[in-house]
């Protein structure tokens, strides 16, 4: 992260902490406590982005913070973050040519069930249709 990017992350966190939606109150408290911007919220916690670009898992259960993230989660966070905070577009990966087609969606980026696109379910590739080879390998290993 350069200084401009760090300041964009700080501004995004400031803006997030000023929101008042009660449903997000718990995550807002955790975000404030740890100075981590929730870039990939989940039902059990969120992936938080620190000003220097480091990512951490923040558990909703006990409020603990861990830097132990899989490559897949890191990948999804880099896609979801700029969707939630458009000013963080620099986080989004530009797929290089050595990324491999997602085996789950066949490269379309869309989840298809019974021939129909399912818009509110996200493919494991995050919708890009391609994945870093290491992430694709780790997903294959998980599915064995």
Q: Which of residues 63-102 bind Zn ion (CB under 5 A)?
A: 102
Q: Is 111 in the site for Zn ion (CB under 5 A)?
A: no
For Zn ion, the closer CB: 47 or 102: 102
**Residue of 58, 88, 91, 123 that binds Zn ion (CB under 5 A):** 123
**4-to-31, 40, 45, 77, 90 alpha-carbon distances in Å:** 21, 22, 28, 20, 11
Name the nearest CA neighbour of 65 among 37, 91, 30: 30
* Min dist. Cβ of residue 58 to Zn ion (A): 26
Region binding Zn ion by CB under 5 A among candidate stretches 12-20, 29-37, 81-89, 103-111: 103-111
Q: Is 58 in the site for Zn ion (CB under 5 A)?
A: no
Size of the site for Zn ion (CB under 5 A): 5
Write out the DSSP string of the chain.
--HHHHHHHHHHHHHHHH---GGGHHHHHHHHHHT-EEEEEETTEEEEE-TTS-EEEEETTT--EE----HHHHHHHHHHHHHH-GGGGGGS----TT-EE-TTTTTS-SEEETTEEETTS--TTTTSSEE-HHHHHHHHHHH-
For Zn ion, the closer CB: 91 or 105: 105
* Min dist. Cβ of residue 139 to Zn ion (A): 10
* Min dist. Cβ of residue 95 to Zn ion (A): 12
**Residue of 105, 135, 136, 139 that binds Zn ion (CB under 5 A):** 105
Q: Is 135 in the site for Zn ion (CB under 5 A)?
A: no
Which residues contact Zn ion (rule: CB under 5 A)? 102, 104-105, 123, 125
């Amino acid at each position: 992260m350069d200084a401009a990017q760090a300041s964009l992350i700080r501004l995004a966190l400031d803006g997030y902490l000023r929101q008042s939606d009660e449903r997000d109150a718990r995550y807002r408290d955790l975000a404030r406590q740890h100075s981590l911007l929730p870039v990939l919220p989940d039902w059990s916690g969120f992936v938080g982005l620190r000003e220097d670009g480091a990512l951490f898992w923040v558990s909703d259960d006990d409020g603990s913070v861990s830097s132990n993230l899989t490559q897949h989660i890191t990948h999804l966070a880099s896609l979801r973050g700029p969707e939630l905070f458009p000013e963080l577009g620099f986080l989004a990966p530009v797929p290089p040519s050595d990324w491999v087609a997602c085996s789950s969606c066949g490269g379309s980026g869309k989840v298809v069930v019974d021939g129909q696109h399912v818009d509110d379910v996200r493919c494991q590739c995050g919708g890009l249709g391609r994945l870093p080879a290491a992430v694709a390998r780790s997903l294959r290993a998980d599915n064995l």
